[in-house]
Amino acid sequence: MFRPAYPITTARLLLRPFRAGDLDALHAIQSRPDVTRYLLWGTRTRDEVAEALRARLAMDALEKQGDILVLAVTLRESGVLIGDVNLAWHSEEHRSGEFGFVFHPDHHGHGYAGEAAVEMLRLGFEGLGLHRIVGRADGRNVASARLMEKLGLRREAYFVQNEFLKGEWTDEVVYAMLAREWADR
Protein backbone atom coordinates (compact mmCIF):
# COMPACT_ATOMS: atom_id res chain seq x y z
CA MET A 1 0.00 0.00 0.00
CA PHE A 2 1.19 3.51 -0.83
CA ARG A 3 -0.04 6.17 1.60
CA PRO A 4 1.80 9.50 1.61
CA ALA A 5 2.68 11.22 4.87
CA TYR A 6 0.02 13.89 5.38
CA PRO A 7 -0.22 16.77 5.06
CA ILE A 8 1.98 17.29 2.02
CA THR A 9 3.37 20.79 2.41
CA THR A 10 4.51 23.10 -0.37
CA ALA A 11 5.59 26.72 -0.19
CA ARG A 12 1.98 27.96 -0.10
CA LEU A 13 -0.25 24.88 0.07
CA LEU A 14 -1.24 21.87 2.11
CA LEU A 15 -2.42 18.73 0.31
CA ARG A 16 -4.40 16.42 2.56
CA PRO A 17 -7.14 13.80 2.47
CA PHE A 18 -10.67 15.15 2.23
CA ARG A 19 -12.70 15.55 5.44
CA ALA A 20 -16.44 15.50 6.03
CA GLY A 21 -16.24 19.21 6.88
CA ASP A 22 -15.12 20.03 3.31
CA LEU A 23 -18.66 19.81 1.94
CA ASP A 24 -19.39 23.55 1.66
CA ALA A 25 -16.04 24.37 0.04
CA LEU A 26 -16.26 21.43 -2.36
CA HIS A 27 -19.83 22.38 -3.29
CA ALA A 28 -18.66 25.93 -4.00
CA ILE A 29 -16.31 24.44 -6.60
CA GLN A 30 -18.33 21.59 -8.11
CA SER A 31 -21.58 23.55 -8.46
CA ARG A 32 -20.03 26.07 -10.86
CA PRO A 33 -20.62 25.69 -14.62
CA ASP A 34 -17.27 27.39 -15.34
CA VAL A 35 -15.51 24.67 -13.32
CA THR A 36 -17.33 21.68 -14.79
CA ARG A 37 -17.44 22.90 -18.39
CA TYR A 38 -14.56 20.65 -19.48
CA LEU A 39 -15.09 17.82 -17.00
CA LEU A 40 -16.85 14.52 -17.68
CA TRP A 41 -19.56 15.42 -15.16
CA GLY A 42 -21.74 18.50 -14.94
CA THR A 43 -22.52 20.86 -12.10
CA ARG A 44 -23.49 19.05 -8.92
CA THR A 45 -26.17 19.74 -6.37
CA ARG A 46 -25.26 19.80 -2.69
CA ASP A 47 -26.52 16.20 -2.33
CA GLU A 48 -24.43 15.09 -5.32
CA VAL A 49 -21.36 16.81 -3.89
CA ALA A 50 -22.02 15.10 -0.54
CA GLU A 51 -22.04 11.74 -2.34
CA ALA A 52 -18.83 12.62 -4.22
CA LEU A 53 -17.24 13.71 -0.93
CA ARG A 54 -18.16 10.40 0.75
CA ALA A 55 -16.27 8.59 -2.02
CA ARG A 56 -13.28 10.93 -1.67
CA LEU A 57 -13.01 10.26 2.06
CA ALA A 58 -11.76 6.76 1.21
CA MET A 59 -9.35 7.88 -1.53
CA ASP A 60 -6.30 8.64 0.60
CA ALA A 61 -4.05 5.74 -0.43
CA LEU A 62 -3.21 3.53 -3.40
CA GLU A 63 -3.37 -0.20 -2.69
CA LYS A 64 -3.71 -1.67 -6.19
CA GLN A 65 -4.04 -0.70 -9.81
CA GLY A 66 -7.34 0.98 -10.47
CA ASP A 67 -7.20 2.97 -7.23
CA ILE A 68 -7.29 6.77 -7.25
CA LEU A 69 -5.72 9.10 -4.71
CA VAL A 70 -7.68 12.36 -4.38
CA LEU A 71 -6.40 15.15 -2.16
CA ALA A 72 -7.85 18.44 -1.04
CA VAL A 73 -5.67 21.45 -1.79
CA THR A 74 -5.78 24.17 0.87
CA LEU A 75 -3.95 27.44 1.36
CA ARG A 76 -1.36 27.10 4.14
CA GLU A 77 -2.06 30.56 5.55
CA SER A 78 -5.83 30.27 5.86
CA GLY A 79 -6.74 26.61 5.45
CA VAL A 80 -9.22 27.53 2.70
CA LEU A 81 -9.92 24.64 0.32
CA ILE A 82 -9.22 25.88 -3.22
CA GLY A 83 -9.27 22.70 -5.29
CA ASP A 84 -8.23 19.10 -5.55
CA VAL A 85 -5.61 16.96 -7.26
CA ASN A 86 -5.65 13.29 -8.08
CA LEU A 87 -3.38 10.43 -9.07
CA ALA A 88 -4.81 7.25 -10.60
CA TRP A 89 -2.78 4.03 -10.68
CA HIS A 90 -3.64 2.52 -14.05
CA SER A 91 -1.30 -0.48 -14.33
CA GLU A 92 1.07 -2.21 -11.96
CA GLU A 93 2.68 -4.19 -14.79
CA HIS A 94 3.31 -1.12 -16.95
CA ARG A 95 3.88 1.18 -13.96
CA SER A 96 1.53 3.76 -15.42
CA GLY A 97 -0.77 6.35 -13.96
CA GLU A 98 -2.70 9.52 -14.63
CA PHE A 99 -2.98 12.79 -12.76
CA GLY A 100 -5.48 15.63 -12.76
CA PHE A 101 -6.48 18.85 -11.04
CA VAL A 102 -9.57 21.00 -10.49
CA PHE A 103 -9.43 24.45 -8.88
CA HIS A 104 -11.90 27.16 -7.95
CA PRO A 105 -11.70 29.98 -10.54
CA ASP A 106 -11.09 32.56 -7.81
CA HIS A 107 -7.68 30.92 -7.35
CA HIS A 108 -6.66 30.63 -11.01
CA GLY A 109 -3.59 32.51 -12.18
CA HIS A 110 -1.59 32.25 -8.96
CA GLY A 111 0.38 29.08 -9.75
CA TYR A 112 -1.46 26.98 -7.16
CA ALA A 113 -2.51 24.26 -9.61
CA GLY A 114 1.06 23.86 -10.82
CA GLU A 115 2.42 23.79 -7.28
CA ALA A 116 -0.02 21.05 -6.29
CA ALA A 117 0.34 19.11 -9.57
CA VAL A 118 4.12 18.88 -9.09
CA GLU A 119 3.47 17.07 -5.82
CA MET A 120 1.18 14.55 -7.53
CA LEU A 121 3.85 13.87 -10.15
CA ARG A 122 6.40 13.47 -7.34
CA LEU A 123 4.12 11.00 -5.55
CA GLY A 124 3.63 9.03 -8.74
CA PHE A 125 7.26 8.86 -9.80
CA GLU A 126 9.14 8.92 -6.50
CA GLY A 127 6.55 7.42 -4.16
CA LEU A 128 4.74 4.83 -6.25
CA GLY A 129 7.60 4.20 -8.68
CA LEU A 130 5.60 4.83 -11.83
CA HIS A 131 7.34 4.77 -15.21
CA ARG A 132 4.80 6.96 -17.02
CA ILE A 133 2.11 9.47 -16.01
CA VAL A 134 -0.41 10.99 -18.39
CA GLY A 135 -2.69 13.99 -18.11
CA ARG A 136 -5.81 14.46 -20.23
CA ALA A 137 -7.87 17.52 -21.00
CA ASP A 138 -10.73 18.65 -23.18
CA GLY A 139 -9.18 20.09 -26.34
CA ARG A 140 -10.79 23.48 -25.60
CA ASN A 141 -9.22 23.68 -22.14
CA VAL A 142 -6.21 25.76 -23.10
CA ALA A 143 -5.32 26.59 -19.48
CA SER A 144 -4.95 22.92 -18.49
CA ALA A 145 -2.91 22.16 -21.60
CA ARG A 146 -0.66 25.13 -20.91
CA LEU A 147 -0.13 23.99 -17.31
CA MET A 148 0.82 20.46 -18.35
CA GLU A 149 3.34 21.87 -20.83
CA LYS A 150 4.74 24.17 -18.15
CA LEU A 151 5.14 21.14 -15.86
CA GLY A 152 7.28 19.49 -18.55
CA LEU A 153 4.79 16.99 -19.94
CA ARG A 154 4.89 16.48 -23.69
CA ARG A 155 1.81 16.56 -25.88
CA GLU A 156 1.41 13.08 -27.31
CA ALA A 157 -2.03 13.01 -28.86
CA TYR A 158 -4.91 15.14 -29.99
CA PHE A 159 -8.09 13.13 -30.54
CA VAL A 160 -10.64 14.93 -32.71
CA GLN A 161 -14.29 14.56 -31.65
CA ASN A 162 -13.24 11.74 -29.41
CA GLU A 163 -16.08 11.92 -26.87
CA PHE A 164 -19.72 12.91 -26.90
CA LEU A 165 -19.92 15.05 -23.79
CA LYS A 166 -22.81 17.14 -22.52
CA GLY A 167 -24.57 17.03 -25.88
CA GLU A 168 -21.60 17.77 -28.14
CA TRP A 169 -18.59 16.09 -29.67
CA THR A 170 -15.40 17.16 -27.92
CA ASP A 171 -11.72 16.80 -28.67
CA GLU A 172 -9.24 15.41 -26.16
CA VAL A 173 -5.57 16.23 -25.71
CA VAL A 174 -3.17 13.84 -23.95
CA TYR A 175 0.11 14.80 -22.33
CA ALA A 176 2.67 12.48 -20.73
CA MET A 177 5.91 12.35 -18.80
CA LEU A 178 8.31 9.46 -18.16
CA ALA A 179 10.19 8.83 -14.92
CA ARG A 180 13.50 9.66 -16.59
CA GLU A 181 12.07 12.98 -17.79
CA TRP A 182 10.89 13.71 -14.26
CA ALA A 183 14.36 12.98 -12.91
CA ASP A 184 16.03 15.12 -15.61
CA ARG A 185 13.75 18.15 -15.37
Query: What's the pLDDT at 177?
Result: 98
DSSP track, 48-89:
HHHHHHHHHTT-S-B-STT-EEEEEEEETTT--EEEEEEEEE
153-177 residue pLDDT tens: 999 999 999 999 999 999 999 999 9
CB 173 within 8 A of CB 155: yes
CA–CA dist 181, 134 (Å, integer): 13
CA–CA dist 174, 138 (Å, integer): 9
pTM score of the predicted model? 0.95
Q: What are phi and psi of 103, to 5 degrees?
A: -130, 150
CB 84 within 8 A of CB 72: yes
Q: What angle do CA 98, 99, 104 make, to 5 degrees?
A: 150
CA–CA dist 2, 128 (Å, integer): 7
The one-character DSSP state at 9 is E
| 2 exposure class (CB count in 10 Å sphere: 0-12, 13-18, 19+) | middle
Kindly list the averaged pLDDT for each block of 10 residues, start to end, along the chain of length 185.
Answer: 96 98 98 95 97 97 97 97 98 98 97 98 97 97 97 98 95 98 95
Q: How crowded is residue 154: how many other Cβ atoms within 10 Å of its Cβ?
A: 12
Query: What's the pLDDT at 97?
Result: 98
| 4 exposure class (CB count in 10 Å sphere: 0-12, 13-18, 19+) | buried
Residue 82's nearest CA partner among 44, 111, 42 is 111
User: What is the domain partition of the chain in residue ranges?
Assistant: 8-137
Helical pair 23-30 and 46-56, crossing angle rounded to 10 deg: 120
> 8-137: what CATH class?
alpha beta
